[in-house]
Chain A
Amino acid sequence: SQQGEEDPQALSIQEGENATMNCSYKTSINNLQWYRQNSGRGLVHLILIRSNEREKHSGRLRVTLDTSKKSSSLLITASRAADTASYFCATDISGGSNYKLTFGKGTLLTVNP
């Protein structure tokens, strides 16, 4: 598997439900970031969590990081149809270049009205 791999590849839920996406990575990181991409559009930065942090919140988003398991999760609470998008995790590898984020292939979230 590559550095930064999201699971599941696709997720379909009803409006109002919570959505959880996971990201696993292989090597130690400085930080992990989550991005959203609406179909064919530019990516939008959602949240950055550093390696010494365990949880961060931003509005309806909650991100956790478990460095011992090399994994992160993104929780979207009370989802809306407008949350329909692809979600990517991106890792900044510890000891690597300071100028490269490595992106996963994403989770496609569909929120049905």
Chain B
Amino acid sequence: EAQVTQNPRYLITVTGKKLTVTCSQNMNHEYMSWYRQDPGLGLRQIYYSMNVEVTDKGDVPEGYKVSRKEKRNFPLILESPSPNQTSLYFCASSYTGTGYGYTFGSGTRLTVV
């Protein structure tokens, strides 16, 4: 089944403790992206990747890192999480970018206390 898999689904952590949210797709898509969703603010793009080893900032990249060492994986790293990063995070992929529909993962609900 074609899908984007995120893990974990839920995560509660403490301020400053480094964490990684994994994202993997099995569709051989070139493009991958991370979004966060907050009430009243909608979906905002954090980072995106056009292909292996090619990444760029979205609208809200502060406090996040990404890497794209393999085509299928695009992890999101929070080196020192803070409470304002409490949010619902989504990974998405598409064939080559915005000219095609995105396939979204099921989301990761992160709480930073």
Please determine whether A33 and B101 come into contact, CB atoms closer than 8 angstroms.
yes
Please determine whether A30 and B99 come into contact, CB atoms closer than 8 angstroms.
yes
Please determine whether A45 and B102 come into contact, CB atoms closer than 8 angstroms.
yes
Q: Which of A30, A33, A45, A106 has the most CB of B within 10 A?
A: A45
User: Inside 8 A of B50's CB, which chain A residues have their CB?
Assistant: 99
User: Inside 8 A of B42's CB, which chain A residues have their CB?
Assistant: 88, 103-106
* Size bracket of the A interface: 20 to 34
Residues 22-62 of A contacting B (Cβ, < 8 Å): 30-31, 33, 35, 40-45, 48
Residue of A nearest to B44 (CB): A103
User: Inside 8 A of A69's CB, which chain B residues have their CB?
Assistant: none
Distance (whole angstroms) from the CB of A5 to the closest CB of chain B? 10
Per-residue 0/1 for B22-50: is the Cβ within 8 Å of any A Cβ (1 yes, 0 no)? 00000000010101000011110100101
Please determine whether B107 and A40 come into contact, CB atoms closer than 8 angstroms.
yes
Complex: A72 Cα to B58 Cα, angstroms = 25
User: Inside 8 A of A97's CB, which chain B residues have their CB?
Assistant: 98
Task: Tell me the B residues contacting A by CB distance below 8 Å.
Answer: 4, 31, 33, 35, 40-43, 45, 48, 50, 56, 58, 88, 90, 92, 97-107, 109
Task: Tell me the A residues contacting B by CB distance below 8 Å.
Answer: 30-31, 33, 35, 40-45, 48, 88, 92, 97-101, 103-106
